[in-house]
Amino acid sequence: MLRTFWDGMRFAGITPLVRGLLLGMLGAFATSVVVIGVGRILVDRLAAGNAGFGVLFAAVSAGMALGAFVGPRVLRALNRRRLFALSVGVSGAALLLTGLIPNMVLAAVLASITGVGVGIAWVIGTGLLAREIEGDLRERTLAFLHTAARVLLLVSLTVAPLIAGLIGDHRLDVRDLGYDVLGAGAVLVLAGLTALLLAVLSYRQVDEGSEVSLFAELIAVLRGVPVGPEKEDERLPGTFIVLEGGEGAGKSTQARQLSIWLRDEGFEVVTTREPGSTKLGMRLRALLLDKDQTGMSPRAEALLYGADRADHVSQVILPALRRGAIVISDRYVDSTLAYQGAGRELSVGEIRRINEWATDELVPDLTVLLDVPPASGLARLGGTTDRIESESEDFHERVRAGFRRLAEGEPERYLVVDAQGAQEDITREIQRRVRPILPDPVPQDAEAITGMMPIIKE
């Protein structure tokens, strides 16, 4: 265990975000285990006995479960990085109050709030870590995190009660007022202050910076109003659909079938692909897929895909969406996250930020992931292969795993289809998912133009 701990320390500070996440997660976890560590002493001083300790333990556990499953959903409008740091601070503040107020009922309530903060911090923290780092580095970082958590648990169960005993219980009298200083309470106060300090440090590491303060953003979210000055988001009347998947998954076939069906339904359809759908894109495609380009670095590759995508969005996708067309793209941002992030083992978080800037944060209305084992997909290709297709099967396995993680992270935006099924069945499944998001094929101003109800032919 110690070897894993010290080995993981080398990777703990690879980026400010990872460093801040680890600090915050461990600080939050410490607040929950300290409650358990000195809980027995605390409830004895409060004359609550075994029943009181059971209530305290249940309050922390229930709070953690509630925070993990409900917290991020209730506060989904709040920036995830800010919510993470805020939850660490909440757990620390609640723990501090638990130590200051020697009352069993309030201790149970505050312990549950501590648990809520811990639950939110861990579920958001692990999600951000999974997005930020990939491959072996991610496994080592998570192993370090869990090892450090076990060390904290061991220290809290052994050292915290010892410190509480050394401090002892005292009574402060000021004229007619008296206050009981409990050794267990003092330990909780110290742990709470430490967690608050770690929350501040974590916030400085993970926050991306914003014109709106954390307090103002939190108040706006709780009131259900827009956060700060509303961004002038362009209302695009069109619909953006992307097909993703590994090599040989059948994206081109399904894009063609989908476009035929939509045109028959009366829609304007623009089918496109990445890379290579603009004049600049065609030159970049030639560079990216040329097998002779053996010396291209992974970072250069990712940036070239980003350049192609920026031009693609500006020249093809946005103009079509602005005039109300349905755009079907063979590959988009998620391909770069999977191929260059998971496949090349680059930072998914950094690639995501580059592409958000390149696309002005344009997100598809639906992403269809055609999932196929690399061995089966590559066998379908036949003939000559390009630079990406000729990569090792291990590379393509990492790409597939990357796609699946992306789909699991945003299930509301994804349709995952087994691409080994019959093409007709795949087409029908895609059509069923696409139909509900389609706009009205009759223009909204049709009645104003004609002065009568439009005739819709079945």
Q: In one letter, which amino acid is 277?
A: S
Q: Which helix (H) or strand (E) holds 229?
A: none
265: annotated binding-site residue? no
CB-based contact 67:118 (threshold 8 Å): yes
Rounded Cα–Cα distance for residues 392 and 337 (Å): 18
Rounded Cα–Cα distance for residues 61 and 71 (Å): 14
248: annotated binding-site residue? yes
Give me the long-range contacts of 192-195 (CB less than 8 A, separation at least 24).
192/31, 192/92, 192/93, 192/94, 192/95, 192/96, 192/97, 192/98, 192/99, 193/92, 193/96, 194/27, 194/30, 194/92, 195/27, 195/28, 195/30, 195/31, 195/88, 195/89, 195/91, 195/92, 195/95
Rounded Cα–Cα distance for residues 242 and 247 (Å): 15
250: annotated binding-site residue? yes
Q: In one letter, which amino acid is 353?
A: R
246: annotated binding-site residue? yes
143: annotated binding-site residue? no
Rounded Cα–Cα distance for residues 204 and 189 (Å): 23
341: annotated binding-site residue? no
Contacts of 13 (CB under 8 A, 6+ apart): 19
52: annotated binding-site residue? no
249: annotated binding-site residue? yes
CB-based contact 121:28 (threshold 8 Å): yes
Tokens representing 288? Answer: 């990216």
Rounded Cα–Cα distance for residues 202 and 448 (Å): 56
Contacts of 230 (CB under 8 A, 6+ apart): none
SS (H, E, C) 137-155: HHHHHHHHHHHHHHHHHHH
Give the side-chain half-sphere CA count within 13 A for 88.
33
Name the nearest CA neighbour of 366 among 222, 197, 239. Answer: 239
List, as residue ranges, the binding site for ATP.
245-252
List, as residue ranges, the binding site.
245-252
